[in-house]
């Protein structure tokens, strides 16, 4: 089950998207501003973030900039939404821009696509050390006879 972090200061939109995405089987975490979203993202490491651009305090663009500062958060795909046209020079901060009002089918399609791409992409290597050698080794068959 993929975890999605929804960030929006419009509570009605936030809860509508939450209900729709949970119905599709996603684990959804919500935040009403960028600072709260950053704190929650660092704790739960979501698979995808959907954020509004215009929010009081830390807006969506600043949230994306701050996410890129942390290696564990920098690779999380971000869907930005707004009723305004985004600044072209900032577009590298998010993966997809969706204009408001957001159509639920479009949002679901974009989320599915980004999550599939993330799951299909190369996995970061994790280095797990080999277990320590045991002093209790099996006796070779040659010694039994």
**pLDDT at position 41 over 70:** yes
Number of domains in the chain: 1
Q: What is the mean pLDDT of residues 26-42?
A: 94
Higher pLDDT, 121 or 39: 39
The CATH number of residue 34's host domain is 3.40.50.2300
**pLDDT at position 124 over 60:** no
The CA distance from 26 to 67, in Å, is 22
Contact predicate 43/20, CB 8 Å: no
Domain that holds residue 44: 3-124
Please give the share of the chain, as a percent, with pLDDT higher than 70.
80
Higher pLDDT, 118 or 114: 114
Q: Is 77 left (phi over 0), alpha (psi -120 to 50) or beta?
A: beta
């Amino acid at each position: 089950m993929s975890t999605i972090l929804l960030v929006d200061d419009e509570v009605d939109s936030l809860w509508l998207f939450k209900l729709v995405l949970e119905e599709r089987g996603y684990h959804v975490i919500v935040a009403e501003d960028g600072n709260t979203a950053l704190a929650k993202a660092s704790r739960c490491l979501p698979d995808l973030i959907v954020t509004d651009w215009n929010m009081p305090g830390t807006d969506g663009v600043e949230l994306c900039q701050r996410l890129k500062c942390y290696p564990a958060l920098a690779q999380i795909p971000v869907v930005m939404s707004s009723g305004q046209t985004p600044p072209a020079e900032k577009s590298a901060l998010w993966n997809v821009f969706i204009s408001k009002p957001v159509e639920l089918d479009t949002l679901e399609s974009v989320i599915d696509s980004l999550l599939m791409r993330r799951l299909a992409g190369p996995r970061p290597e994790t280095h797990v050390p080999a277990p320590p050698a045991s002093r209790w080794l099996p006796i070779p068959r040659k010694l039994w006879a």
